[in-house]
Amino acid sequence: MPLNSSVRENGSIVITSGDRLTIENASDFSRIVSESLHSSSSVLIEFDSSVEIDITGVQILCSACKSAANSGKIFSYQGVRPKALDDVIANSGAERHAFCKHNNDSTCIWFGGSN
Protein backbone atom coordinates (compact mmCIF):
# COMPACT_ATOMS: atom_id res chain seq x y z
CA MET A 1 0.00 0.00 0.00
CA PRO A 2 1.60 3.30 -1.07
CA LEU A 3 1.49 6.61 0.79
CA ASN A 4 -1.75 8.33 -0.27
CA SER A 5 -4.93 9.97 0.95
CA SER A 6 -8.63 9.47 0.38
CA VAL A 7 -11.73 11.47 1.28
CA ARG A 8 -14.60 9.83 3.14
CA GLU A 9 -18.25 10.65 2.58
CA ASN A 10 -18.28 12.74 5.78
CA GLY A 11 -15.44 14.91 4.44
CA SER A 12 -12.69 13.53 6.67
CA ILE A 13 -9.44 12.47 5.04
CA VAL A 14 -7.58 9.24 5.71
CA ILE A 15 -3.87 9.13 4.90
CA THR A 16 -2.48 5.64 4.44
CA SER A 17 1.13 5.44 5.53
CA GLY A 18 2.45 2.95 3.05
CA ASP A 19 5.51 1.04 4.19
CA ARG A 20 7.75 4.05 4.98
CA LEU A 21 7.43 7.37 6.79
CA THR A 22 11.09 8.26 6.63
CA ILE A 23 13.45 10.94 5.37
CA GLU A 24 13.23 9.43 1.88
CA ASN A 25 9.57 10.32 1.50
CA ALA A 26 9.33 13.18 4.00
CA SER A 27 8.55 15.71 1.29
CA ASP A 28 5.62 13.68 -0.06
CA PHE A 29 4.36 12.85 3.44
CA SER A 30 4.54 16.49 4.54
CA ARG A 31 2.79 17.66 1.37
CA ILE A 32 -0.04 15.14 1.73
CA VAL A 33 -0.54 16.01 5.39
CA SER A 34 -0.51 19.76 4.68
CA GLU A 35 -2.95 19.48 1.76
CA SER A 36 -5.23 17.25 3.84
CA LEU A 37 -5.29 19.66 6.77
CA HIS A 38 -6.10 22.54 4.41
CA SER A 39 -8.96 20.54 2.86
CA SER A 40 -10.62 18.91 5.87
CA SER A 41 -11.36 19.49 9.54
CA SER A 42 -10.52 15.85 10.34
CA VAL A 43 -7.42 14.00 9.11
CA LEU A 44 -6.54 10.49 10.21
CA ILE A 45 -3.43 8.40 9.57
CA GLU A 46 -3.93 4.70 8.96
CA PHE A 47 -0.62 2.91 9.46
CA ASP A 48 0.52 -0.09 7.47
CA SER A 49 1.26 -2.85 9.99
CA SER A 50 4.90 -3.07 8.90
CA VAL A 51 5.54 0.66 8.40
CA GLU A 52 9.08 1.91 8.91
CA ILE A 53 9.21 5.26 10.72
CA ASP A 54 12.20 7.46 11.49
CA ILE A 55 12.49 10.66 13.51
CA THR A 56 11.64 12.75 10.43
CA GLY A 57 8.29 10.96 10.14
CA VAL A 58 7.66 11.55 13.83
CA GLN A 59 8.47 15.24 13.47
CA ILE A 60 5.93 15.56 10.64
CA LEU A 61 3.28 13.85 12.80
CA CYS A 62 3.98 16.22 15.70
CA SER A 63 3.98 19.31 13.52
CA ALA A 64 0.72 18.27 11.85
CA CYS A 65 -0.89 17.66 15.23
CA LYS A 66 0.09 21.14 16.44
CA SER A 67 -1.06 22.78 13.19
CA ALA A 68 -4.40 20.99 13.38
CA ALA A 69 -4.93 21.95 17.02
CA ASN A 70 -4.08 25.59 16.31
CA SER A 71 -6.72 25.57 13.54
CA GLY A 72 -9.40 23.76 15.55
CA LYS A 73 -9.01 20.62 13.46
CA ILE A 74 -8.45 16.96 14.31
CA PHE A 75 -5.28 15.09 13.42
CA SER A 76 -5.09 11.57 14.79
CA TYR A 77 -4.77 7.96 13.71
CA GLN A 78 -7.14 5.08 13.24
CA GLY A 79 -6.52 1.41 13.66
CA VAL A 80 -3.46 -0.08 15.27
CA ARG A 81 -0.62 2.14 16.44
CA PRO A 82 2.53 0.61 14.91
CA LYS A 83 5.32 -0.72 17.08
CA ALA A 84 7.79 1.15 14.86
CA LEU A 85 6.31 4.46 16.04
CA ASP A 86 6.62 3.51 19.70
CA ASP A 87 10.16 2.24 19.11
CA VAL A 88 11.47 5.41 17.42
CA ILE A 89 9.90 7.60 20.11
CA ALA A 90 11.37 5.49 22.93
CA ASN A 91 14.79 5.19 21.26
CA SER A 92 15.01 8.94 20.70
CA GLY A 93 14.08 9.72 24.30
CA ALA A 94 11.03 11.69 23.17
CA GLU A 95 8.42 9.94 25.31
CA ARG A 96 6.17 12.37 27.12
CA HIS A 97 3.57 11.52 29.69
CA ALA A 98 2.68 15.11 30.44
CA PHE A 99 -0.37 16.93 29.19
CA CYS A 100 -0.17 18.55 25.77
CA LYS A 101 -1.70 21.97 25.32
CA HIS A 102 -2.21 21.10 21.65
CA ASN A 103 -4.28 18.02 22.56
CA ASN A 104 -6.92 19.59 24.84
CA ASP A 105 -4.57 19.16 27.80
CA SER A 106 -4.67 15.38 27.41
CA THR A 107 -1.67 13.08 27.14
CA CYS A 108 0.01 13.45 23.75
CA ILE A 109 -1.34 10.75 21.42
CA TRP A 110 1.95 10.58 19.53
CA PHE A 111 4.59 10.83 22.27
CA GLY A 112 2.63 9.72 25.31
CA GLY A 113 0.61 6.72 24.38
CA SER A 114 -2.42 5.64 22.44
CA ASN A 115 -5.68 7.53 22.11
Nearest to 51 by CA among 81, 27, 18: 18
Query: Structural domain of residue 65, as residue ranges?
Result: 4-107
Tens of pLDDT, residue by residue over 34-59, are 999 999 999 999 999 999 999 999 99
Determine, yes or no, domain membership for 114: no
- Angle 87-93-97 (CA atoms, 0-180°, nearest 5)? 90
Tell me the pTM.
0.87
What count of Cα atoms within 13 Å lies in the side-chain half-sphere of residue 21?
30
Q: What percent of the chain has pLDDT over 90?
A: 68
Number of domains in the chain: 1
Is 10's pLDDT higher than 90? yes
**What is the spatial distance between Cα 77 and Cα 81, in angstroms, rounded to a whole number?**
8
At residue 8 the predicted structure's pLDDT band, cuts being 50, 70 and 90, is very high
Residue 112 lies in a domain: no
Does residue 53 belong to any structural domain of this protein? yes
Q: Specify the CATH number for the domain of residue 77.
A: 3.30.750.24
CA-nearest of 25, 26, 12, 20 to 77 is 12
The per-residue pLDDT of the chain, averaged, comes to 89
101 domain residue, yes or no: yes
